Structure 1
Amino acid sequence: MGKTEVERYTGVDEVEVPSAKWGWSAENPRVLHFIGIFSAVLLLLMTHGNHVGHVEDLFLIIFAVLILGIVARDWIARSRGWYR
């Protein structure tokens, strides 16, 4: 006799992604945004140091602004529904 229950299909094969059984198969944008902002702040904190040249500061600031730009673009795109 067949089952009367309908199996839930999440679109993810549980053999390939074992954590899909618990519902952890998708990325969490809030965590990714937090990690991006945290890493940009760490890069900006590294500008305070005992180095003589300021070329290092320029690269740290450029990479921090680049990370914050990527986070801002992703945040805006998700809020406007450009992608989920």
Structure 2
Amino acid sequence: MASTEVDTIDTGWVREDPEAPSARFGWSGTAPRTYAIAAFISGLIMFGMLAGNHVGRVEDIWLIVIGVVLIGYAAFKMRPRKNAWKRA
């Protein structure tokens, strides 16, 4: 009969649970640069949607506001940070 115990994997740095996706390749974290690039491209797409068959201006206002917010988020995430390497 198979055992139901879960062994830990030694990644060299920290013993992690084998159920964690990072246990196989030793990486755990987010990709803020990828998110910033996706937000910038999405913001440009929002501005591209301004050329359409709108009758009113409410849609245009929403597209502009969302596009500016997305591009602002991308600019905030991509700015250089002071002491970025000293995080704990």
TM-score by length of 2: 0.68
What runs of 5+ residues in structure 1 fail to find an aligned partner? 1-5
Structure holding more strand per residue: 2
Q: 1:48 to 1:71 in 2, by over 3 A?
A: same
Indicate if the aligned counterparts of 2:39 and 2:74 stay in contact, CA closer than 8 A.
yes
Q: 1:32 to 1:23 in 2, by over 3 A?
A: farther
Query: Secondary structure of the residue that 1:26 maps to in structure 2?
Result: coil
Question: 1:7 Cα shift?
Answer: 5.3
Correspondence for 1:61 among 53, 57, 64:
64
Matches of residues 18-33 of structure 1 in structure 2 within 5 Å?
18-33=21-36
Indicate if the aligned counterparts of 1:17 and 1:25 stay in contact, CA closer than 8 A.
no
TM-score by length of 1: 0.70
Q: CA RMSD in A?
A: 2.5
**Counterpart in the other structure of 1:51:** 54
Structure holding more helix per residue: 1
What runs of 5+ residues in structure 2 fail to find an aligned partner? 1-9
How many residues are aligned here? 76
CA distance in 1, matches of 2:65, 2:46: 10
